[in-house]
Amino acid sequence: MSAKLLNTNPAVAPDLVISEVDYKPESSWRTWLIGKPLSTADAPHQAIGKAVGLAVFSSDALSSVAYAPQEMLVVLAAAGMGAFGISIPLSLAIVGLLFILTFSYEQTIHAYPGGGGAYIVARDNLGELPAQTAGAALLTDYILTVAVSISSGVAQLVSAYPALLPYRVWIAVGLVLFVMLVNLRGVKESGTAFALPTYFFLIMICITVGVGLIRYVTGSLGTVVAPPPMEMLYTTQAVTLFLILRAFASGTTALTGVEAISNGIPAFKEPRSRNAGTTLIWMAIILGSLLLSITFLAHQIGAIPSEHETLISQLTRTAFGGRGILYLAAISATTVILIMAANTSFADFPRLSALMAADGFLPRQLTYRGSRLVFSRGIVTLAAFASLLIILFQASVTALIPLYAIGVFMSFTLSQSGMSRRWWKSGRIKPGEEIREPGSVLRYDRKWLSKMVINGFGACCTAVVMMVFAITKFQYGAWIVLIITPLMVLAFIAIRHHYENLARQLSLETYAPSLPPTRHRVILPIASVHRGSLNALNFAQSLSNDVTAIHVSLDPADAEKVKEKWFMWGNGVRLVVLDSPYRLMLEPLLMYIEQIIALRRPGEMITIVVPQFLPKKWWQNLLHTQTAFLLRMALLFKPGIVIVEVPYQVQ
């Protein structure tokens, strides 16, 4: 390590020295785990193209075909197998909604090339409260996406290997941690690692669907052999509008992840907006085609929704005529893509939380990039919350689904409402005029009216779906999200208020420089007289001539030894011995300091110098009472007190 002085010209700045430190982080266990640190200059080289972008940001949406059709059938099962045919028109309606959302978010991508999705759109066009609502909804949905996709992936694994059923929770938690570690290695590296499994899934699911359709056309498809028993999770009822709406709401979980690309635009190579928009269209076409095909084939083969064997497993073994190599490859690919689907959230949750933290609504630590140029603290936070959900809900997809999708449809509604208002504002400015907003530049658009109508229609559609989901799934757990979201908004506002109050307290605008202290009193607590305490004494005397050493006496004999040694080594500094008949260490010392504070004169500063010896090995600290730490914590919030720890390293 070396330092290089860049400016030492006193004519420019007499007291300013600008230096450049040539420091490179040393190798450690973190280097082995997540890779070598990257410099800030490497950021442009970490951008990804459309092919990798599809794997990174679309795995959530594409993987939903593995569970969304099954969740529709789970609801329809309450009316018997005869109601399963309703899943086909429901899928058509879902695909129609998918393309409305795709058109809307494609416009968002070009209007907001800096990314941010619903949060930025709502902030710039609807105001602070809708923006925080969108942020809370998206953050909640990203956490649920990880929990649902990982749990669904484990369900696929359990379908192939039923003996693993008792261990599914801990397998799921282990997989969350694995995806977390891969994402901590950086966007480009995680994208490259996940691209192969994503495309392997697409190939295998397309082969499965293709074989199934060919066999259906030729009349050789047949039905599921030895289907699992149907599980009645809902009470038996007739086919009603309420039942259909509930099934539709469950199926719309296939649309979660559509907004991910608009949030992750900065991760794409230039031209970012064009690459992101193209990737979004690719994703919508693939997702819509697979959702319709799988739902249609599942109905034709008489697939049964069950936690013992997934719909995809039944479809695959029926299409391939058994559990041969193609079946195992398809199930393996589905399991992997469901696990990889969590990667979409790991790509977007840290970015969104960093945006909100930069605006002051989340802890500022979330804005810091880690050694691999990713928001590592956001990644770890997401993994922790997702693991907690998996443990609480025992990795059950059906139990987690009612909590799922309300948040994302809330963000869909706010995003499209915001875009609709943006087009309205665009139509109110003159051609050639520009208005700079925090997230974009607003210009006149001659097609503003048609775009406003399209986004407004999309907002109405997603708002209806959100209400249907909230009503039909309320008693099954949706109420939790409806309570958590406003609580999160209140927490965001409280965090913002704290930062604003702190900024006012630290502002120099009305600051009047204070006079130097007229008296500096130093208090030196000592447990005994040794090299560490004498080292602290030397430092204390360098601060002031008014130094008082304090010893709390727990044993009279020990106190006499301290007095004798202090008389020899104390440099004439006064020693106050506090008798503690109840053998308390901190309380008498704190009481004495309180008395000193009460007698403090204006302009007087009190400094507590705390000796602390540091053993060579970290674990050796456990063998000591950590009095210095306890004293610092007790005095930290006392106004007008300065606490200084003087370490003495023990070799």
Q: Which of 179-188, 518-527, 544-553, 579-588 has the highest mean pLDDT?
A: 544-553
pLDDT given for residue 490 in this prediction: 95
Is-contact 152 398, C-beta < 8 A?
no
In the chain, what percentage of residues exceed pLDDT 90? 25
Rounded Cα distance, 342 and 395, in Å: 14
Domain architecture of the chain: domains with CATH: 29-496 (1.20.1740.10), 520-649 (3.40.50.620)
DSSP state of 601: P
pLDDT given for residue 28 in this prediction: 60
Closest to 600 in 3D by CA, of 549, 546, 550, 645: 546
Amino acid type, 180 = M
DSSP state of 394: T
φ/ψ region of 283 (left if φ > 0, alpha if ψ in -120 to 50, else beta) reads: alpha
Q: Which long-range contacts (CB under 8 A, 24 or more apart) does 328-334 make?
A: 328/160, 329/204, 330/204, 330/205, 330/207, 330/208, 331/156, 331/157, 331/159, 331/160, 333/197, 333/200, 333/201, 333/203, 333/204, 333/205, 334/63, 334/66, 334/153, 334/156, 334/201, 334/204, 334/205
Which whole number is the average pLDDT over 520-524?
91
The pLDDT-based confidence of 233 (bands split at 50, 70, 90) is: low
The pLDDT-based confidence of 624 (bands split at 50, 70, 90) is: low
DSSP state of 15: T
pLDDT given for residue 29 in this prediction: 55
Helix (H, G, I), strand (E, B) or coil at 307: coil
The pLDDT-based confidence of 136 (bands split at 50, 70, 90) is: very high
Query: Looking up tokens 């391939």, which residue turns up?
Result: 320
Is-contact 142 156, C-beta < 8 A?
no
Beta bridge partners of 578: 552
pLDDT given for residue 78 in this prediction: 78
Q: How do residues 10-23 score in pLDDT, each as one tens digit?
A: 555 555 655 555 65
Indicate whether 626 pLDDT > 80.
no
Element (H, E) at 434: strand 434-436
pLDDT given for residue 190 in this prediction: 66
- For 581, the token pair is 């008949």
Q: How many CB atoms lie within 10 A of CB 358?
A: 12
The pLDDT-based confidence of 371 (bands split at 50, 70, 90) is: low
More confident residue, 1 or 278: 278
Helix (H, G, I), strand (E, B) or coil at 356: helix
Q: How do residues 541-580 score in pLDDT, each as one tens digit?
A: 999 999 999 998 888 888 899 999 999 999 999 999 998 8
Sign of CA dihedral 265, 267, 273, 274: negative
More confident residue, 264 or 137: 137
Alpha-helical runs (H) found in 446-577: 448-472, 478-506, 531-543, 556-569
- For 608, the token pair is 């507590």
Q: Which of 227-231, 340-344, 520-524 has the highest mean pLDDT?
A: 520-524
Backbone phi and psi for residue 612, each to the nearest 5 degrees, phi listed first: -150, 120
Which whole number is the average pLDDT over 642-649?
86
Helix (H, G, I), strand (E, B) or coil at 233: coil
Q: How do residues 411-432 score in pLDDT, each as one tens digit?
A: 889 989 999 999 999 888 888 8
pLDDT given for residue 2 in this prediction: 47
Mean pLDDT of the chain: 83
Q: How do residues 197-221 score in pLDDT, each as one tens digit?
A: 888 999 999 999 999 999 999 989 8
Cα–Cα distance list, 441 to 153, 168, 420, 444 (Å): 42, 49, 16, 10
pLDDT given for residue 23 in this prediction: 55
The pLDDT-based confidence of 397 (bands split at 50, 70, 90) is: confident
Closest to 144 in 3D by CA, of 69, 54, 60: 60
